[in-house]
Amino acid sequence: MTPLRKRMTEELQLRNYADFTIERYLDAVRSFAKFTGKSPDQAGPEEIRAYLLHLVKDRKAAPSTVQVHRAALKFLFVKTLGRSWFDERVARTRKQSKIPTVLSAEEIKQILDHTANLKHWTIIATFYATGLRCNELRNLKIGDIDSKRMVIHVREGKGRVPRDIGLSPALLEHLRVYWSWGKPKDWLFPSGMRPDRPMERKTIRMACNAAGRRAGINKPSHPHVYRHSCATHMLEAGADLRTIQVLLGHADIQTTARYLRVST
């Protein structure tokens, strides 16, 4: 690890950034260094501008991806290197409003019916039943399933904010079947290669996408789609926005309100 990368990592840790965010920021800075061919502390506004344009024009990156890379570089230059010119010299990427992809209840049933792997089946069912983010699900431990209070403890949500969400009897029964079959010891969904660690995000995404393809669903079926589907179906069933906001762990209810646009 270079001294600069070590310093940036420490600055992120001091500010209590989530491990996932630290990993993404460091990856973005590493990509920037590879693009410029020199140490990031030797770069300036023109190199940053050229890199962001490279993401947009050459790599066809989504606006949200460009925003992450800009945020990572801003942290590096402002917080780690103490260069205050960043916001004045580096343009912001405008947010792009999109309607969330939502699967119907029948499509989700079809996906589950075509998923023979019990671990993958339970992961998809848990996504849909709880609206958890991918990182929240992969970090669940056996002790986070509280069958007495019928809640799931999300120890570290987005922004390191913990929350408890309801556990339905149906999901609890499926989790018990899965536990009896797989006997996980610590992590609820451990890595197949390294049982002492949780599954990788990439592995979970691949399992969800493969399940959708097997079922012949012509829509994305990555983990966040099940989160969108959970929220939309709850809204259609009569749940209020505040309840859904708490379930999903949204800081701003306006984020939750976007499901009004896809609710039938």
User: Which amino acids are annotated catalytic?
Assistant: 133, 158, 224, 227, 250, 259
Which residues touch 78 (CB under 8 Å, ≥6 apart)? Answer: 84, 86
The closest alpha carbon to 131, from 161, 154, 159, 162, belongs to 154
Strand partners, 164: 153
235 class by beta-carbon count within 10 Å (0-12 exposed, 13-18 middle, 19+ buried): buried
Using CA atoms, how far residue 103 sits from 134, 208, 224, 227, in Å, is: 17, 13, 11, 10
Q: Measured at the alpha carbon of residue 249, what is the angle toward residues 245 and 252, in degrees to the nearest 5?
A: 60
Half-sphere exposure of 78 (CA within 13 A, CB side): 13
User: CA torsion, points 188, 193, 196, 201, in degrees to nearest 10?
Assistant: -60
Q: How many helices (H) and strands (E) does the chain have?
A: 13, 3
Distance between CA atoms of 53 and 91, rounded to whole angstroms? 10
Among 52, 82, 89, residue whose Cα is nearest residue 67:
52
Q: Distance (Å, rounded) from C-alpha 114 to C-alpha 99?
A: 27
